[in-house]
Amino acid sequence: MMTQQDKAPFYKPLAIAITSAILLSACGGGSSGSGGSSTTTFSVTDAPVDDVEAVKVTFTRIDLKAASGSENDVSITFDEPVTIENLLDLTGNASTPILSEASIPPGDYNQLRIFVDGGFPNSTVTPEGGNKTDLYIPGQQNGNSNGNPQFLRLVSGFTIAAGSKSDFTIDFVLRKGLTKPANQDYYLLRPALRLVNNLEVGSISGSVSSTVVNHPECLLNEGNGAVYLYDEDLTTGDAMPEDYFDSELATGVRPIASAEVGQNESGEFTFTIGFVEAREAAYSVAYTCEPANDEPSTDDDINFTEVLSTTVTAGEESTVSFTVEPEVVVEEQPAQEAESNPV
């Protein structure tokens, strides 16, 4: 049976050049490690975003920053750029590799840098009902990168074990990272990323009752809503789920990933959040029918109908079901002044 990941488009660099304290070379299609090196694959996936039809991104290079010092850093330049024609095709458990089985020295790394070739035709956004528009990494717009290649920085510690095959997925959280500056004709892709080890991940899938999706309060909004994932159990204590807010001023518990709710052939409303790190501690998921009102640049007041907790086991799928309908908002009527009778 073909899985969603099997259906994902595959884009493979023909060759790459790797430089570090030790000079190595590898083919993107599958070189074997030598001299103690390990083979490593990096794939990409995406959390969805509203109001756009396509997000095309072209990658040119990956740098790994070694925890032991800059002399052990690794820089991987693709001989041919790797283009993902539409990141929006890679939701749920779908992913596609941008670097396959590269020979990389084992060790601890604390930072990943992904270099992007910004602007039309290499990286673009197609808004709903619109034309392709330039997509840049901040600093590329208006040609003001000062000649320096621009990259997305992911600060997340990870280990490449000696003599092993490592397999990582980079999750682009577009709902948080993709923005359109006011009065500008381009989009910016900011570093809203997650890095997960595919050997240590599971997924969360589930359903949303039709009585929830079709509730009058939800029908006021476009689409079928979205499910947000939180890094702690919000069903205990006083903490509440918050919206995406990409700011140093952000407080409260913010989502780490999300998934749009779709309708399958049987008419059921379902979702899948893939590549969730397996652990004993619980996560929370929350359903909202107002994801279109969630702008990452502002702290928005969106409503969630229900919050559920769940755990994730490596290689397994956890399931949840949302059944609680939204509260009906009753607008207060202005009090009428009582008529006074003359004495």
Write the pLDDT tens digit of every residue in 203-229: 999 999 999 999 999 999 989 999 999
Return mean pLDDT, the chain: 85
Work out whether strand 193-197 and strand 186-189 pair parallel, antiparallel, or are unpaired: unpaired
The torsion angles phi and psi of 216, rounded to 5 degrees, stand at: -50, -35
Write the pLDDT tens digit of every residue in 21-70: 433 333 333 333 334 557 899 999 998 788 899 999 999 999 999 999 99
- Tens of pLDDT along the chain (343 residues)? 333 344 344 444 434 555 544 333 333 333 333 345 578 999 999 987 888 999 999 999 999 999 999 999 999 999 899 999 999 999 999 999 999 999 999 999 999 999 999 999 999 999 998 999 999 999 888 765 555 678 999 998 899 988 889 999 999 999 889 999 989 999 999 999 999 999 899 999 999 999 999 999 999 998 999 999 999 999 998 899 999 988 888 889 999 999 999 999 999 999 999 999 999 999 999 999 999 999 888 999 999 999 999 999 999 999 999 999 998 765 555 555 545 555 5
Spacing of C-alpha 305 from chain mean position: 23
Phi-psi map region of 107: left, alpha, beta (phi>0 left; psi -120 to 50 alpha):
left
Q: What is the pLDDT of residue 200?
A: 92
Assigned token pair, 206:
């589930």
Task: Give the H or E element holding residue 103.
Answer: strand 96-104
| pTM exceeds 0.95 | no
Q: What angle do CA 106, 110, 113 make, to 5 degrees?
A: 95
Share of the chain above pLDDT 90, in %: 69
Structural contact between residues 158 and 197, judged by C-beta atoms closer than 8 angstroms: yes
Residues near 264 by Cβ (< 8 Å), separated by ≥ 6? Answer: 270
Task: Evaluate the CA torsion angle 255, 299, 297, 184 in order and state its sign.
Answer: positive
Write the pLDDT tens digit of every residue in 258-280: 999 999 999 999 999 999 999 99
Ordered alpha helix ranges (H), the chain: 4-7, 174-177, 210-213, 216-219
The conformation of residue 149, written as its DSSP 8-state character, comes to P
Q: For residue 10, how many C-alpha atoms fall within 13 Å in the half-sphere facing its CB?
A: 9
Structural contact between residues 258 and 276, judged by C-beta atoms closer than 8 angstroms: no
- CB burial of residue 218 (10 Å; 0-12, 13-18, 19+): buried
Structural contact between residues 170 and 194, judged by C-beta atoms closer than 8 angstroms: yes
Measure the CA–CA gap between 292 and 225, rounded to whole angstroms.
8
In three-state secondary structure terms, 318 is strand
Structural contact between residues 228 and 286, judged by C-beta atoms closer than 8 angstroms: yes
Which of 287, 282, 228 shows the shortest CA–CA distance to 258? 228
In three-state secondary structure terms, 176 is helix
Query: Which amino acid is it at 167?
Result: D
In three-state secondary structure terms, 212 is helix
